[in-house]
Structure 1
Amino acid sequence: MPATPAWPPKSVPRLFVKEELGEGHTLTLDGNAAHYLGKVMRVGVEDTVILCDDITGEWAARVDEVEKRRVRLTVTGRLRPREEVPDLWLCPALLKKDRFDLVLEKATELGAARIQPVLTRRCVADKLNMDRARAITIEAAEQCARTALPRLDEPQKLDALLRDWPSDRTLFFADEEGGDPAERAFAAGSSAAAILIGPEGGFEDAERASIRALPQACAISLGPRILRGETAAIAALSVWMAGAGDWARDPGNTQG
């Protein structure tokens, strides 16, 4: 017998919406969402769309009406509850725009629960367009089938981050001057963790001293080579997810 095809198929459009969803709920999408569904994906009446609300999870919805600037849908059933992502924060120093865009995208795909941008003395950027940054994380979550968006906060100066750091959360920081091998340090750390990545020029000596003075801080090494900020963030997240995160709990996930 031929295998029963997966439903909904992977080609079904997938969108996050702001309102809470429930079975039988009707909603109208306009703006970019309507353009994407109607003009890019060319959905028609009775087609299926997958919606996520970052509250209750992932839902199937039926297209009831497609107009030039709006699409009306009815929610038909829940597919998955909102996922529980590992309690990992990424605290990356701001980088040049295109490189930080990559950090936002890949941190979302890799499963970070929170992204807290950091301002250090050697940062080449000092501002972040939050609307644009949130759009990048939403698009990445849609692409990788996350049902929970990462929390994204306004950039914070390093000294303020350290001053208010929670007592029960380990702060791993990638130190170009060396530290414990990342894999070993992550395995020995607490389940509530964060990874701090420095800017393109690295941390200044005074900044490094302040970080090391924090009782919850743990210096880590990401190998023998000097990594760009975006590479270090992606590498550290990957190692953490493989050893202490949720990769091992979901061996059947082959999304790429």
Structure 2
Amino acid sequence: MPADYDFRAQRLHVPQDLAAGAEIVLPAEQAHYVLHVIRLPVDGAILLFNGRDGEWRAVRQAGGKREARFVVEEQVRPQPPAPTREYAFAPLKHARLDYMVQKAVEMGAGVLTPVLTRYTQVSRINLERMAANAVEAAEQCGLLTLPVINAPRPLQSWLAELPATHNLVFCDEGAKEADPILALRAAPAGPVSVLIGPEGGFSPEERTMLAPRAITLSLGPRILRADTAAVAALALVEAAGCQK
């Protein structure tokens, strides 16, 4: 980020194209936030991004009583390459899934894929809610790229279609404890897909199916909840310097 980047600046994700001189009128919910929560005055500035055009400084214009109208002035940051790191997970119930999606995005996941395993307890997922949580995480953490969110699919079909160039990191509570950083750094260069199972873990058949392809890691001596395991696993991948 630029040395003079203001981390305290308010940021909003918008769907519209962004370029110098573009006029942006926010939808009602975002307008309420701008007018009544942060109370941005006319001529006040905000940062806008859309996941395609980088981040832009925009200035509020006079408008209707409930209207939040902006003119885009200058680009603050260019659009970076989209991260290729995939986070594949067995779905969780709403509140914990919300948390997990937000943390995965914060930790650099560029692809989110729900996978259905034998012991998955939740089979229906609100993809729009996942997308909203991803946007919230990006707004709060200075991110410019939103993740690709895939529809749920069975573990076996996801594994069968996983490109051979991807390193599959399989976090298994039954794995022998070893230095996970060394194991990750020994992997060949390439995109990474991190797989976390459900609360009940993976079945013996699923472990057998995954073993030939995966870098199997232990996350330590404690049994972790799936949402906690997500943060731990993605932090290890980041610390090992694996491809983003």
The CA distance in 1 between the partners of 2:166 and 2:5, in whole Å, is 39
2:172 matches 1:175: yes
| Mapping for residues 57-206 of structure 1, pairs under 5 Å | 57-84=54-81, 86-179=83-176, 181-189=179-187, 190-206=189-205
The CA distance in 1 between the partners of 2:181 and 2:23, in whole Å, is 47
Deviations 1:39-63 (A, max 9, x none): 1111111000100011121000010
Q: Give the partner amino acid of 2:94.
A: K
Task: Give TM-score, length-normalised by structure 2.
Answer: 0.92
2:233 matches 1:236: yes
Task: Give TM-score, length-normalised by structure 1.
Answer: 0.88
User: What percentage of residue pairs aligned between the two structures are identical?
Assistant: 36
Q: Give the partner amino acid of 1:231.
A: T
Q: Give the partner amino acid of 1:73.
A: F
Distance 1:157 1:65, change over 3 A: farther
Conserved 8 A contact 1:117-1:156: yes
2:22 matches 1:25: yes
Q: Give the partner amino acid of 2:222.
A: R
Q: CA deviation at 1:85?
A: 5.2
The CA distance in 1 between the partners of 2:243 and 2:163, in whole Å, is 23
Conserved 8 A contact 1:173-1:220: yes
Distance 1:48 1:134, change over 3 A: same
SS class of match (1:70): coil
State the partner residue of 1:51. Answer: 48
Q: CA deviation at 1:134?
A: 0.5
Task: Give 5+ residue unaligned stretches, structure 2.
Answer: none
Distance 1:8 1:29, change over 3 A: farther
Distance 1:181 1:95, change over 3 A: farther
When the two structures are aligned, how many residues end up with a matched partner?
240
Conserved 8 A contact 2:190-2:243: no
Worse-superposed segment, 196-205 or 19-28: 19-28
Task: Give 5+ residue unaligned stretches, structure 1.
Answer: 1-5, 248-256
The CA distance in 2 between the partners of 1:93 and 1:185, in whole Å, is 24
Q: CA deviation at 1:237?
A: 0.5
Distance 1:46 1:239, change over 3 A: same
